[in-house]
Structure 1
């Protein structure tokens, strides 16, 4: 991997992204807008004395899930667009290594993911009154790592798609099962045994668990650090697999 080539690639991707106002709005505005919608959805739901508001319980989890979903969708489509436009073909004829290429895309979209997570957390904690036992900074960090996981999985899935429509079709295969099994709908320890085992090998489960650790504990815990490391390792592994499976479509 050549750091200079990687940074040049990241700069090119960011320049393209900056000119695409709809994608910028989807990355930056949509997560915050969804959190506001979630707030009003649970605003009038009654809670008993001493019980944590339902919005606080759900919102802390969604701060990890929403960036993951959006960055997976945006990254997989963006990479596939590069392929169909011929840009990827031209880049692969240069001395640029595959990790330089994918690392540049990952760096650019990870920077966008960081801005997305920071803005969504600022709206949730500053405007909507979300409260957790742990520091807000840890929530932002976990949300960023989760968004980077979405970027890495999006890059990986784009290698197996031939069109942008096929890239979108990976979402119900890769993303939705993780939403069902991450603990958002049913606590993982209450799942049937085989589903709990499946949940244990899905990275989003650990992101949600890490966020719940921050919500319940005033300081960091060993479980939070373990979960954060697992999510980061999944992201690195997905990026390496994406580089290994990246192929030219023409001889």
Structure 2
């Protein structure tokens, strides 16, 4: 083995890497992105959960307790309601994560200590919210002379997941994660593979338009995505007894829109890459932020506002709201229309940009 020949190969690889600007940028971009996401955007301390309060006692001590709960910054009391039906409606539509219910005999219960003085109604479809509720359940309440360190009996009621089983939260999210991984990756290399295999030369000779070419590459993968959704639902039901409380048809419609959004992102990436390896790199580059910022692994409410704004641009964030709402909270698809509209806009924008970048030429 000659050192000179080996160094020549090393120099050749370095020059090639310098010309490959995308790979060179990812060498720096991936560690920078991970550092920013894990060090800044990812925050395990849950703050500012949307909450409602139903203060049936409406006394000085009950109002003081509500103010102190909000001062913890764990919850933001965005709604004040008068009936349990309003709590059910807000939580079913995903407007709130927690509801603080103070009964009419709140002060009597405090004095006797034989029954829970207040009730925390929690959205059990999110494990992070359940953990936060347990923290609030240890919160001190006011006595007649001020604040005491003694914790009064607080009843925590978990809606949608009373047994607090982790698969109930995880399996619906895994539908989105699996679709993101496969759909984006499959289509990211679609047009690139056509160029590398020489098939694009035959397409150039046909009257196929850029829109027809783009949609023709997308549609075959729609069926694959729906099959994957079915597999996860069946196995989730069979192995983990994960329920589907809402409409199965609406669940598939939501999954269809998300599949189209993921495929449009993959097609867009394929128009940027010059090789299948680059297409795979970019697919994983977009996959990581979606996993970390969507609320699948880390609490969405604990992220800084800038990270939340960025997460709103990612399709997985909106699909998690759809799939958890339909599967676990029996929410109607129209009740979750903001998330559905966001996915539709994302799909239209990505497809339009991809079509604009698609050229029926070899250069």
Q: Deviation of residue 137 (structure 1)?
A: 3.3
TM-score of the pair, normalised by structure 2: 0.52
Q: Deviation of residue 248 (structure 1)?
A: 4.6
| CA RMSD, Structure 1 to Structure 2 (Å) | 2.2
Matched, 1:124 2:236: yes
> Which residue is 1:197 aligned to?
309
- The answer to whether the Cα contact below 8 Å between 2:262 and 2:315 also exists between their aligned partners in 1 is no
Choose which of 334, 340, 356 in structure 2 pairs with 1:228: 340
Single out whichever of 92-101 and 161-170 deviates more from structure 2: 92-101
Matched, 1:188 2:300: yes
Query: How many residue pairs end up in the alignment?
Result: 204
Measure, in 2, the Cα distance between the counterparts of 1:58 and 1:137. Answer: 21
Measure, in 2, the Cα distance between the counterparts of 1:132 and 1:158. Answer: 35
Structure 1: gaps of 5 or more residues:
1-47
Q: 1:120 to 1:216 in 2, by over 3 A?
A: closer
What do residues 33-74 of structure 1 show as CA deviations (whole Å, max 9, x unaligned)? xxxxxxxxxxxxxxx993331011011111122112111111
Bigger relative contact order (CA 8 A; separation at least 6): 1
> Which residue is 2:263 aligned to?
151
Choose which of 355, 360, 363 in structure 2 pairs with 1:243: 355
Q: Return the structure number with greater helix share.
A: 1
Q: Return the structure number with greater strand share.
A: 2
Q: Deviation of residue 191 (structure 1)?
A: 0.5
Q: 1:143 to 1:65 in 2, by over 3 A?
A: farther
- The answer to whether the Cα contact below 8 Å between 2:290 and 2:314 also exists between their aligned partners in 1 is yes
Measure, in 1, the Cα distance between the counterparts of 2:287 and 2:201. Answer: 28
Structure 2: gaps of 5 or more residues:
1-157
Choose which of 147, 166, 173 in structure 2 pairs with 1:54: 166
SS in 2 for 1:94: coil
Choose which of 75, 95, 118 in structure 1 pairs with 2:207: 95
> Which residue is 1:169 aligned to?
281
Q: Deviation of residue 138 (structure 1)?
A: 3.1
Max radius of gyration: which structure? 2
- The answer to whether the Cα contact below 8 Å between 1:183 and 1:205 also exists between their aligned partners in 2 is yes
Matched, 1:211 2:323: yes
